[in-house]
Amino acid sequence: MKKEINPIKLEIFHNRFRSIAEEMGVTLNRTAFSPNIKERRDFSCGIFSGQGGLVAQAAHIPVHLGSMPLSVLSAIESTSFSPGDMVLLNDPFAGGTHLPDMTVVAPVFSTSQKKPCFFVANRAHHADVGGSAPGSMALSGTIFQEGLILPPVKIWKKGQIDSEMMSVILKNVRTPSEREGDFEAQFMANLTGIRRLKELISEQTLDEVTFYSHALRDYSEKLLRREISRIPSGTYFFQDFLDDDGLGVEDILIDLKLTVNGEEVCLDFTGSADQVQGSINAVRAITLSAVLYCFRCLLPPNTPTNDGLLRPLQVKTRPGSILDAEHPSAVAGGNVETSQRIVDVVLGALAQAIPEKIPAASQGTMNNLSIGGTEPRNNQPFTYYETLGGGMGASQEKEGEGAIHSHMTNTLNTPIEALESSYPLLVREYAFRRGSGGDGKNKGGEGLVREIELLSDAQVSVLSERRRRGPYGLDGGKPGKTGENLLIKKNTREKLPGKFSREMKKGDILRVETPGGGGHGKGES
């Protein structure tokens, strides 16, 4: 006899699962060492089924959470888990995104089962994992230049850290003490999740918890199918381009044929460009993340976010393409830059079908900034990494927000006080970039200006987009203003490319002006 779903219990379990993931995030945030994790909160936490499916997530980073199930699945397939084990991985071709994103997966065992009944996992962006440049986000032509590559490896064995494995990892990074502290925070986050899930199972029984973990995923699928059924059936096309790969290839096509058929959608990206030499290649996990994010945005805010949302969606990619890159492609920027352009393309196609629900393009980049060198106050290496906000696209209802992270990132900024106390850097200006939002009936959000003076010699790397084409407007709205990167030396200003890595001197000033969002509707003449 089929068990009936109690709607009140369904909502209770929705909130219990989500609160566990949120508490994992609080633990990680409060115990981390690096400003990138502690201040910017560049991390994500989730709960997964015994088979690796996403059951619940905290409100963290979209590009992490949509792809993390593939990391969990990779860990399951390659590892025999015992209680007290944890697996660490970052390999983009085994469910990861790019090398700085380190994922830690841990099993949850019930006393009545020999196999894990659930998994908990978290992913955090480490400010350095080795490679050719500080921050591990430099221009690169192969993944081997981007840092230490970790397939699924046991970092905890039966409740104890594998000290030999940890020592190998720490020998391959520029800031080992900071990395070790951030790893410890990730381990503690998983222990928090394990403890809370065991408490829930003890209260409700394993059968009940498992039943509602499946019911929530079925419920999310049902909600998305109902929403898709409201989209006019048909085929919609949209194209957009990445500026370049930083190594000479320009105008890199992202092509989408989106077909709505009743309660299902097929997204065909196979017409997109081939993978390139530079580091903006995206693995398939990133493409799935971006698609999941776009369709999740069509649903009410309190909708459970889990892998049930992917069931009505068929995503076609071509191996060897910019959206399904193959080993050993460079992929550091695919996670942060190409993911944003995928969102622009999916929303651009949906705007043709449901224009009342879709905003103009947001800034379309994360403006990745990495600076590394030697801290003169203690003669120790330092690595600083940050993404910068910009303008959001306007919609039919309101203007776009300004100077904010959007779409596939959900981080905060690094506060000036934290940045200047942690690194030999001086923030000279941090402000709205006035006039950068696209004109229209509703104006696009403003970008921002971040101007940083180096207080010691350092290597500076930037991966940014929308430096050649502004974010598109909709329904007659104008594009947002393109971004710009500048090097200021005394009385000279040098315009820098969108992607670069170069040595800079003490006293040099880097100025980043981020794109504004696209406008919506025709403005008054």
Can you give the three-state secondary structure of 432-471, one letter per residue?
A: EECCCCCCCCECCCCEEEEEEEECCCEEEEEECCCCCCCC
Cis peptide bond N-terminal to 355, omega within 30: no
**Mean pLDDT of the 110-124 span:** 91
H helices of 130-232, in order, are 163-170, 176-204, 206-229
**Mean pLDDT of the 158-169 span:** 96
**Mean pLDDT of the 237-250 span:** 97
**231 — pLDDT class (breaks 50, 70, 90):** very high
pLDDT in tens, 350-379: 999 999 999 999 999 999 999 999 999 999
pLDDT score at 410: 83
pLDDT score at 269: 98
The residue that leads in pLDDT, 385 or 65, is: 385
The number of helices, as runs of H, and strands, as runs of E, in the chain is 10, 20
pLDDT in tens, 380-414: 999 999 999 999 999 999 999 999 999 998 888 89
Sign of CA dihedral 300, 305, 311, 316: positive
Is 186's pLDDT higher than 80? yes
Is 117's pLDDT higher than 90? yes
**1 — pLDDT class (breaks 50, 70, 90):** low
**Mean pLDDT of the 141-156 span:** 96
Is 65's pLDDT higher than 80? no
**Mean pLDDT of the 259-288 span:** 97
**416 — pLDDT class (breaks 50, 70, 90):** very high
pLDDT in tens, 430-480: 999 999 999 999 999 999 999 999 999 999 999 999 999 999 999 999 999
Is 262's pLDDT higher than 90? yes
The residue that leads in pLDDT, 238 or 95, is: 238
Token couple for 268: 């065909």
SS (H, E, C) 35-104: HHHHCCCCEEEEEEECCCCEEEECCCCHHHHCCHHHHHHHHHHHCCCCCCCEEEECCHHHCCCCCCEEEE
Is 422's pLDDT higher than 60? yes
Is 59's pLDDT higher than 80? no
**Mean pLDDT of the 71-78 span:** 94
**Mean pLDDT of the 300-313 span:** 94
b/e code 342-377 from CB counts within 10 Å (16+ = b): bbbbbbbbbbbbeeebbbbbbbbbbbbbbbbbebee
Chain mean pLDDT for the chain: 95
